[in-house]
Structure 1
Amino acid sequence: MKALRHSLFEAIGDLETRAVTIRHELHSHPELSGKEEKTKYFLKGILEAEGIDVFGFEGHHGLVAQITVDPAKPYVALRADMDALPIEERNALPYASREKGVMHACGHDAHTAIVLGTALALNRMRDKLSGNVRFIFQPAEEVMEGGSSQMIEDGCLDNVSAIFGLHAYPYLPTGKIGYKKGVMLASADTFEIEIFGRSSHAARPHEGVDAILVTSMAVNSLNHIVSRQIDPLHPAVISLGTIEGGRAPNVICDHVRLRGTVRTVNHDVRRRIPEMMEISVKGICQSMHADYRFRYDFGTPEVRNDDAMVDFLVREASSLLGSENCIDLVDPVMGGEDFGRYLEKVPGAFFRLGTCNEIKGTCVAQHNSRFNVDDDALAVGMKVLGLLALGSM
């Protein structure tokens, strides 16, 4: 194993500059969820030029690449997400986004470059590998339906025994990783509520049913569900993101649409929340003589790491970084990640890759127009994923 590690690190050292260049190219040309066509062909060209098997799909822009040493053995999978966000970049970087209103503000460019770099490194030592590795380049992580379901339906987990993924994390310094056993990230669901009233002249509100007033009462009631109906030891978040309604200042509004998201880390709480929400809305509408329509869509599940896989991750990462640089994050985060769908199918672990460098200004939170990743973190991610792949064979 010592000789394998040396070969891996040597290959990564040779490829580090190339990985950074790839990341900068991806950052300059971001593509939104479901539109990652140029990204797909860019990656496909690099992988095929290195002699790595690559497979595309008809219904989406995902890619699967793999190194097959022994067809009788299963694969260990490494996953990256490729899509960007509808954010206008405000960084003055030579590789800043050239696409107006689109930006890699969550680090997916780094994730892709890291997994691609790991693939290139492992391919250089193919003759020394004892097992198979699959590299999943997933589209559409940033949308609630999540591209992981499409990838799974198309067989990306067939004959996979374990899966690993990472996420850039500006809350940890470069050179550290964060891990957590059990639930690491929340499930992410969406809902839509429509309130139907009856319009009238604003000077004669008693002749109508004010959908805006009914909505305000419903919003207040929804915000009490978490604080008064759910065990405080089981975190949950109900957030309204949009409210649309009304046509004129002198007309009582007859229709309002609300949309939002629900985050939970407990299966039972997640299952019960839609009923709680509808009971609240229904009761208020009945008391105010309004009608309603309620729609709830279950999105991505929580990211629930396999404990044994986390132990394996920590052991391998500690051998590289030192145990003091492997941080137990302790508490789950209410953000979502569709990596959870993979973990429902096969054991694996998702971890945080520290990318904060105060001098370089890479400690800005994700989904911010000034977010950036410390390029020095790419080699760290490649080494950790490479070790996980080698150790899983």
Structure 2
Amino acid sequence: MSLKEQLFEKIDAKTERMIDIRRYLHEHPELSFEEEKTGQYIVDFYKDLPHDGIETNVGGMNGSVVTIQGGQAGPTIALRADFDALPIQEDTGLPFASKVDGVMHACGHDGHTAYLLILAESLIELKDQIKGTVKIVHQPAEEVSPGGAKTILESGLLDDVEAMFGIHVMTNAQTGIVQVRKGNVQTGRSNFSMTVRGKSGHGSSPHQANDAIVAAAAFVTNVQSMISRRIDPFDMAVFTIGNFDGTGQANVINDHVQLDGDVRTMSTQASETIMKYMHHFADGIREMYQVDVDLDFAYDYPVLHNDEGVTERVWKALEDMNVPGVELEESPKQAPSEDFAFYAEKIPATFFYVGCTPEGQEAFPHHHPKFFMDEQALTISVKAMATVVDEFVG
């Protein structure tokens, strides 16, 4: 039997336990950078397993990296799952709904962790048949920048990794769909913060003041033209101002406004173009309205790029996955950003997707209080990743 076939047998025997793990984690979510109990739960899972080393509290955070040394020579690969939750009040009505007020696994990270724990245990049990080394990366703090990926990379624990893989369950695809795409697949993200300062005054005498709200409103209206007039129509960019804080009184001209937002692009060039023209627009309102403008633009997550060669191998392996009811298709480009992109900057990598919405049910988006994941997606995820492992070290 191949490594994949033996992994599938073990997975089938452990499916119920995998679901139990997911439900436990779902009931006990923890926010980014606060996942102490979840991190310890993961470490305890490996306590009695004959792995070849576990590094805990990686980078001073709650992540772990487990090493599984195969019985034969071969490449070193890494598998990653995240395990942080979100500040959302759950509204699913599930019998295993979150027991933590205002915190919810609304993005599927509980499922990611459950499937990877079961896969890691199965790989440890079959490690003599592995041709190479597998590193299991349990990553905290994916949801909040700067995120756990950078910390784990900076630890040096992945310096010898030759290929890296991750999965995200997705409610924009039905259960049974596995999606893979070569090249740029998820947007990069940048953040900006801007303060406009004018001169306060009485609402009846605007000529004696300098209205910061008028100047800031002109910036908001005009800066949107960057997308339609400065970005290549065949590229992708989204510019969002999520905060416009000019709170004051009805009869008082406000002397300052705070703006905050983010930028999503599918190329570094588009992000650099937006930064350039944001500064031009800021200079423009500074001159036109005679206000002070402080603009801070910061690059955050890079564009997630799936290595062409590695991804081609992943695609071919998944074509032969041979799991009833599972279909492989090319992934659309994904608008959200993902800190797995930091790994993919340094290591040839593939990040792919598993549909988790039951047929005939409403698909609530990620980060929604009613986010729901079909638990069949766990079995598909673990078998899909087992198939990839077999391709590279089987």
Distance 2:92 2:198 in 1: 46
2:329 corresponds to which residue? Answer: 327
Question: SS at 2:293's partner residue?
Answer: strand
1:63 corresponds to which residue? Answer: 64
Q: CA deviation at 1:259?
A: 0.6
Task: Check the 8 A contact 1:176/1:321 in 2, yes or no.
Answer: no
Q: CA deviation at 1:65?
A: 1.1
Deviations 1:234-291 (A, max 9, x none): 1111101111123322211111111100011122222221110011122012111111
2:236 corresponds to which residue? Answer: 235
**Structure 1 length-normalised TM:** 0.95
Deviations 1:125-173 (A, max 9, x none): 1222222111111111111322211110012322101000010111222
Distance 1:92 1:124 in 2: 37
Task: Check the 8 A contact 1:75/1:134 in 2, yes or no.
Answer: yes
Task: Check the 8 A contact 2:165/2:350 in 1, yes or no.
Answer: yes
1:374 corresponds to which residue? Answer: 374
1:257 corresponds to which residue? Answer: 258
1:272 corresponds to which residue? Answer: 273
Question: SS at 1:76's partner residue?
Answer: strand
1:309 partner letter: V
Trace 1:1-393 onto structure 2 (pairs within 5 A). Answer: 2-52=1-51, 53-56=53-56, 57-69=58-70, 73-321=74-322, 325-329=327-331, 331-358=332-359, 361=361, 363-393=363-393
**Structure 2 length-normalised TM:** 0.95
Q: CA deviation at 1:363?
A: 2.6
Q: CA deviation at 1:227?
A: 0.9
CA RMSD of aligned residues (A): 1.7
2:104 partner letter: M
Task: Check the 8 A contact 2:198/2:292 in 1, yes or no.
Answer: yes
Question: SS at 1:131's partner residue?
Answer: strand
- In percent, how many aligned pairs have the same letter? 34
Distance 1:198 1:71 in 2: 72
Question: SS at 2:89's partner residue?
Answer: coil
Q: CA deviation at 1:58?
A: 5.0
Number of equivalenced pairs: 390
Which stretch shifts more, 310-319 or 232-241? Answer: 310-319
Instruction: In structure 1, list runs of 5 or more residues that go unmatched.
Output: none
Distance 2:376 2:231 in 1: 43
Task: Check the 8 A contact 2:115/2:382 in 1, yes or no.
Answer: yes
Question: SS at 2:168's partner residue?
Answer: strand
2:166 partner letter: G
Question: SS at 2:46's partner residue?
Answer: helix
Task: Check the 8 A contact 2:195/2:294 in 1, yes or no.
Answer: yes
Distance 2:63 2:150 in 1: 11
Deviations 1:193-224 (A, max 9, x none): 11011100111111111111111100011111
Cα distance change, pair 4–70 in 1 and its aligned pair in 2 (3 A): closer
Q: CA deviation at 1:6?
A: 2.0
Q: CA deviation at 1:74?
A: 4.1
Distance 1:70 1:284 in 2: 66
1:68 partner letter: Q
Which stretch shifts more, 88-97 or 64-73? Answer: 64-73
Q: CA deviation at 1:5?
A: 2.1
Deviations 1:88-133 (A, max 9, x none): 1001111101111111111111111111111011112122222211
2:328 partner letter: C
